[in-house]
Amino acid sequence: MLFLLNIGNTHTQPGLWNGKTLELLPRIPTAELRPDQLPDDLPVAAATVVPEVRRVLDREEIFWLTPQNAARCVDFSYVDSSTLGTDRVANAVALAEFYPLPALVVDCGTAITIEIVDQERIFRGGAIAPGRQLMRRALFTGTAQLPEIPLSSELPQHPGSNTRETIRFGIDRGAVGLVRELVECSAGKYGCITRVVTGGDAPFFSAALGLPVTVPEFTLHGIRIAWSRCRD
């Protein structure tokens, strides 16, 4: 048994690995994550993009994913790994484990990231851009009159006729165009034969771009695989 944590900027996704299957547990707002929410009787493996949370939760027995301890799975030596987010490390590990290479994964959450692994299992970097919700918040906080509108699962088909519709058209259509350009450029550079999407906003981008959605526990599997290889 293994308790897993994918600690994101907004939410934390816990999971429980029983040796054969991975069960997703209810998400926790990252700001509310506490040490007493971790089991005392199970090993814990985690990836976090929030350094403060690691300081809050840190205890000796937690396996914290890094590019260095994931090196048995994917070669991260061709990039500057000192600033590489461990969610991206986990995605690269899962991508190399489950899909034909070269491949890329688009992770759609607070940020939109792309991770690329070539046919030699070398991590080739990717892209980082703001997600749809972050774009909405930036407009709201950076302007005097524009409202913060909720996410929609449907891609707008026409330019907006009022402010809310105009924001939706601009952000959602713009985000799809952004991801399409990043995917096409990345795939062209490395000849990626596999292209998948994951993350909380994956259904929206999958429908808009025709990319297959990988399993919801994709990033957790990357953490698990790296933990397992370090024990071999």
Which residues are catalytic, by number?
87
Coil, helix or strand for 189? Answer: helix
Q: What is the DSSP letter of 149?
A: P
Could you tell me which residues are beta bridge partners of residue 22? 17
At 5, phi and psi to the nearest 5?
-135, 125
Could you tell me which residues are beta bridge partners of residue 113? 107, 128
CA diameter of the chain: 60
Task: Give the amino acid at 35.
Answer: P
Task: Give the amino acid at 62.
Answer: I
Residue 56 region by backbone torsions, left for phi larger than 0, else alpha for psi between -120 and 50, else beta: alpha
- The closest alpha carbon to 215, from 80, 36, 91, belongs to 91
At 230, phi and psi to the nearest 5?
-70, -20
CA–CA distances in Å: residue 204 to residues 73, 153, 165, 177, 211: 30, 6, 17, 13, 10
